Amino acid sequence: MESSYSEQHPLEPFLPAGARLLMLGSFPPPRRRWSMEFYYPNLQNDMWRIFGHLFFGDRNHFLHSDRKAFDRERIVAFLAGKGIALYDTAAAVRRLKDNASDQFLEIVEPADLGALLRRLPECRTLAATGGKAAETAARTLGCDVPAVGGYSLFGFEGREMRLWRMPSSSRAYPMTLERKAEAYGRLFDALFGRSSG
């Protein structure tokens, strides 16, 4: 069923002080699919399992013990500690079908990525978490769309920047969690020299 109204982004950007990485999805899923009030809230999305696998050796690290919801407080504390900011590439969308698929999202208003970057003076790296996010970010920033697992260079107000394109954390994306984690791991190693905890 096609929606005739546009939907504004339901979350504020998550911009911890000193963040060096801004991760950008496309847009949150419909609210009925949320397990928490935060980014990547759908239990069928593996983003927080990828983080758990990479940083803690446990894909369920960021799940509540009953595994029916992600643990927002634990996720927020981890991201703030690492300096990872989150938002999406769309500030408003129209859902062409009543689901969470990027394929059926029409972007009505792209996010103002320049305004976000001005609030993140130490950030030199953006990571788009899927194809639509990568295409939208590249168009907004005026750079090439990177290959999956790679990055494009661009400049922003005197900063040398990289836009990485990560595999989608959606289970609809045809890649195992471990292979997705390898791609994210290369990004995190380049930025943080990943260590557990």
At 144-187, the pLDDT tens digits run 999 999 999 999 999 999 999 999 999 888 899 999 999 999 99
pLDDT tens digit string along 99-124?
A: 656 677 788 899 999 999 999 999 99
Q: What is the pTM of this model?
A: 0.92
pLDDT at 1 over 70: no
- Tokens linked to 89: 């590439």
64 CB burial (10 A radius; 0-12, 13-18, 19+): middle
Question: Which residues, at least 6 apart from 21, have a Cβ–Cβ distance to it below 8 Å?
Answer: 82, 83, 84, 85, 123, 125, 126, 127, 187, 191
Residue carrying the six token digits 């509540």: 64
Per cent of the chain over pLDDT 70 is 94
Mean per-residue pLDDT of the chain: 91
Per-domain boundaries in the chain: 7-192
Domain 7-192 grouped into CATH 3.40.470.10: yes
pLDDT computed for residue 94 by the predictor: 87
The β-bridge relationship of strands 90-95 and 105-110 is antiparallel
Residues paired with 192 in a beta bridge:
none
